Structure 1
Amino acid sequence: MTSRTLLATALLSALLPLTGCQDREAQAAAQAQAQAAAAEQAAEAAERDFEAAVAAENWPLAKAQADVLLARHPGTDAADRVRAQFDAVKAKGDAERETARTAALWSYDTRPAGGGQQVSAMLYARDAVDVDGSGAKRVRLIFRDHPEWGRSSYLVLDAGDFDCYPSCRVRVRVDDGEPRRMAANRPQTDEAIAMFIDDERALWRLLDGATTVAIEFPVKAGGTRTAVFEVAGLDRARMPGWN
């Protein structure tokens, strides 16, 4: 074998590892590119589902789809586009859930009474209240429209009693506003532990647009107690003639 042949053979042997290394690098680059393209394709499909939910104004679903897309495909262009809308979609979803929650706090009833139909709307206080030392118990706020007795608004206790016979004044605060004093009375009856707020129309109007209404009332055990009601979910149409 000539020296020229030996040199060519040596050069070829030296180049073979470099060629194999370059092939592996090319294959890895191609594989990474294919994976990135597949991820982008999957992200774009998820983005279409997200956009469909946004178009339908289904905010909880849109947020859920955004959560999945951002978790599974965080580095994609589709993820960047969805991320730009995420805060607004989340805020709308949260507001929708809060609206549903507060609406579910109210209960409505229609029943025969006095030759007609009695209609009422009732809401429990956000927190139970201890009015007599026997432990915290529920307080109810009720608006009632009775065929014979007319319209009324009143609080009902499960235990203890109001110190409001024959009359008293309660303090009503709407959200963070200044308290308003309103006349009230405890009827002389054992049928229910109830205290009527005399100006039911004024109280009803105070609820319009309010988030919470706090009512401070005197109790027989001494002092006053406060019941806070989350009123934002009231369906005013359920009480015809009050608005």
Structure 2
Amino acid sequence: MGVRMSTHRPAHARRSTLLAVSLLATLSMLAACQDPAAQAQAQAAVQAEANEAAAGQAAADFDAAYAAENWVLAGAQGDVLLARWPDTAAAERIRPLHEEVRTKANAAREAARLNALWAYNTEAVKGGNQLAAAIFSREGVDSDGSGARPVRLIFRDHPSWGRSSYLVMQAGDFDCYGACRVSVTVDDAAPVRMAANRPDTDEAIAMFIDDERALWRMIDGAKRLTVDYPVKAGGTRTAVFEVGGLERKRLPDWN
């Protein structure tokens, strides 16, 4: 009777094979670790993959801000992405959009700055509400030698006194008691001479520009208003106002 040979490998033989495979893998890893070029290549691949993942998330945030037309936020997110991960696919994709966003973000910041220059006030008075829109000059003006101080331009709508436009100084005085003329320039247009007057009162150092409706219309859509006016200290002074942020709807009856 013949003897059948078993094809089942003993447990110790299988263990020996696994040990050999493991040893071979370990030796291969050690060889790679001992090869600086291979090690650097592996590390670079891992870092590149991590950069692409991080840039992809940043690009998703950029896309969300862009879709919401939040140009300031999108610009900031794009700045970070392009600075930290400039060589990624995500950076390449958003780069043209980022230029557009930066332009719009700068415009949005400038609009916000101009809007913030104006102050609005509603005050309950006899007969209704007094409405006012006021802005300080871009730079201080030295009207009497005591130092530069801001000049204020005010548009006022009073239920009894009607509509007024006037300048207010913190020091010095206007040389316009009774009547005078001031030079008014809007942006780069030619100067316009306008009638003005300084009320005989000590309540405020104020000078009214008589045709307030014309002045209101002149600054519609303008960026800059320049007023040259006479002062008691002698000569004239110049106040410049950045009027581009005026919310005209705040004084609805003027429009």
What is the TM-score with the length of structure 2 in the denominator? 0.83
The one-letter amino acid of 1:124's match is F
Q: Which runs of 4+ in 1 moved over 4 A?
A: 20-23
1:107 Cα deviation (Å)? 0.9
Which residue is 1:227 aligned to?
239
User: Percent identity over the alignment?
Assistant: 63
Which residue is 2:225 aligned to?
213
5+ residue gaps, structure 1, are 1-19
Give the Cα separation in 1 of the matches to 2:110 and 2:128.
Answer: 35
The one-letter amino acid of 2:90's match is A
1:23 Cα deviation (Å)? 8.3
1:197 Cα deviation (Å)? 0.4
Which residue is 1:145 aligned to?
157
Q: Is the 8 A contact 1:115 1:147 kept in 2?
A: yes
CA deviations 1:86-137 (Å, max 9, x no partner) are 2211111111111111111111111122322111111111111001111111
Give the Cα separation in 1 of the matches to 2:32 and 2:246.
Answer: 72
Which residue is 1:190 aligned to?
202
Give the Cα separation in 2 of the matches to 1:53 and 1:101.
Answer: 21
Which residue is 1:7 aligned to?
none
Give the Cα separation in 2 of the matches to 1:197 and 1:28.
Answer: 76
Give the Cα separation in 2 of the matches to 1:185 and 1:149.
Answer: 16
Give the Cα separation in 1 of the matches to 2:138 and 2:97.
Answer: 34
Give the Cα separation in 1 of the matches to 2:179 and 2:67.
Answer: 55
Q: Is the 8 A contact 2:143 2:233 kept in 1?
A: yes
Which residue is 2:181 aligned to?
169
Q: Is the 8 A contact 1:114 1:146 kept in 2?
A: no
1:74 Cα deviation (Å)? 1.2
The alignment covers a number of residue pairs equal to: 226
Larger Rg: 2
Measured on the aligned residues, the alpha-carbon RMSD in Å equals 1.9
The one-letter amino acid of 2:47's match is Q
Q: Is the 8 A contact 1:106 1:123 kept in 2?
A: yes
1:87 to 89, 99, 104: 99
1:26 Cα deviation (Å)? 4.4
5+ residue gaps, structure 2, are 1-30
Give the Cα separation in 1 of the matches to 2:161 and 2:219.
Answer: 22
1:29 Cα deviation (Å)? 3.0
Alignment of 1:66-81 (within 5 A): 66-81=78-93
The one-letter amino acid of 2:149's match is K
- SS of structure 2 residue aligned to 1:241: helix
- SS of structure 2 residue aligned to 1:52: helix
What is the TM-score with the length of structure 1 in the denominator? 0.87
Give the Cα separation in 2 of the matches to 1:114 and 1:229.
Answer: 31
CA deviations 1:53-97 (Å, max 9, x no partner) are 111111111111111111111111211222222221111111111
1:202 to 197, 200, 214: 214
Which residue is 1:41 aligned to?
53
Q: Is the 8 A contact 2:183 2:192 kept in 1?
A: yes
